[in-house]
C-alpha cells in the first residue's frame, strides 16, 4: 500500500505489470486512477481494507478487473484472518453479479479457512506465512489448494 499510487502507475506498467491494484483508501480520485491504469494497457484492481465499506466500489465496477478484500490490516505478515471478512467477500460477490471481476483475498489465509473464503466467492487467495511455515512449502500450498476446493 502506497500513499500516492498515481505517481507510480507508469513505472509499474513499464516494469511489465499486467494488473495494477491500488488501495481505495490511498486514491484521491479512484475513478481517475483506475482509468489511468487502463490507459496504460493494464488491468485494474482495487484493494479495500477491513474497515473500508464496499459501497463506493459500485460506481467504478465498469473499470475493475479485480477486487482485493484485505482480510487483515495491511502492514506485516503473520496476522490472523479476520473472520468478519467472510461476509464482506460474499457482499462483494453479490455486488459484482455476473461481471467478470476476480475476487482476491489477502491476509491470514491458511488451509483452515481457505474453503470458507472460496465458498464466500474469492477465487484468488494470497498466502504468505502459511506457505513458508515448516519445511515443505509445496505441501503447505497443496493443503491450501485442497481446502479451497
Q: What is the pTM (predicted TM-score) of this model? A: 0.93
Ranges of each domain in the chain: 5-148
Q: Which of 59, 79, 58 shows the shortest CA–CA distance to 126?
A: 79
Whole-angstrom CA distances from 138 to 46, 63, 114, 115, 143 are 29, 35, 16, 18, 9
Do residues 140 and 131 make contact, with C-beta atoms less than 8 angstroms apart?
A: yes
Q: How far apart are CA 127 and CA 65, in angstroms?
A: 21
What percentage of residues in the chain have a pLDDT greater than 70?
100
Task: Judge whether 61 and 96 are in contact, CB under 8 Å.
Answer: yes
Separation of alpha carbons 83 and 65, rounded Å: 25
What pLDDT band is residue 2 in, cutting at 50, 70 and 90? confident
Residue 112 CA, chain-centre distance (Å), reads 19
Q: Which CATH class is domain 5-148?
A: alpha beta
* Cell 467477500 sits on residue: 89
pLDDT at 134: 86
Distance CA 29, CA 122 (A): 26
| Mean of pLDDT over the chain | 94
In this prediction, residue 135 has a pLDDT band, given cuts at 50, 70 and 90, of: confident
Q: What would the mean pLDDT of 13-37 be, rounded to a whole number?
A: 96
**Pairing verdict, β 124-126 and 66-70:** unpaired
Amino acid at each position: 500500500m502506497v500513499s500516492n499510487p498515481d505517481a507510480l502507475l507508469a513505472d509499474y506498467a513499464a516494469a511489465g505489470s499486467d494488473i495494477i491494484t491500488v488501495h481505495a483508501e490511498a486514491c484521491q480520485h479512484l475513478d481517475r486512477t483506475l482509468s489511468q491504469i487502463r490507459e496504460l494497457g493494464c488491468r485494474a484492481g482495487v484493494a479495500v481494507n477491513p474497515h473500508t465499506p464496499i459501497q463506493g466500489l459500485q460506481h467504478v465496477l465498469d473499470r475493475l478487473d479485480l477486487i482485493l478484500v484485505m482480510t487483515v490490516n495491511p502492514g506485516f505478515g503473520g496476522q490472523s484472518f479476520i473472520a468478519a471478512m467472510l461476509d464482506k467477500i460474499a457482499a462483494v460477490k453479490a455486488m459484482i453479479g455476473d461481471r467478470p471481476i476476480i475476487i482476491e483475498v489477502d491476509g491470514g489465509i491458511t488451509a483452515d479457512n481457505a474453503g470458507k473464503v472460496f465458498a464466500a466467492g474469492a477465487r484468488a487467495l494470497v498466502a504468505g506465512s502459511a506457505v513458508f511455515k515448516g519445511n515443505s512449502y509445496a505441501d503447505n500450498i497443496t493443503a491450501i489448494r485442497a481446502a479451497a476446493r
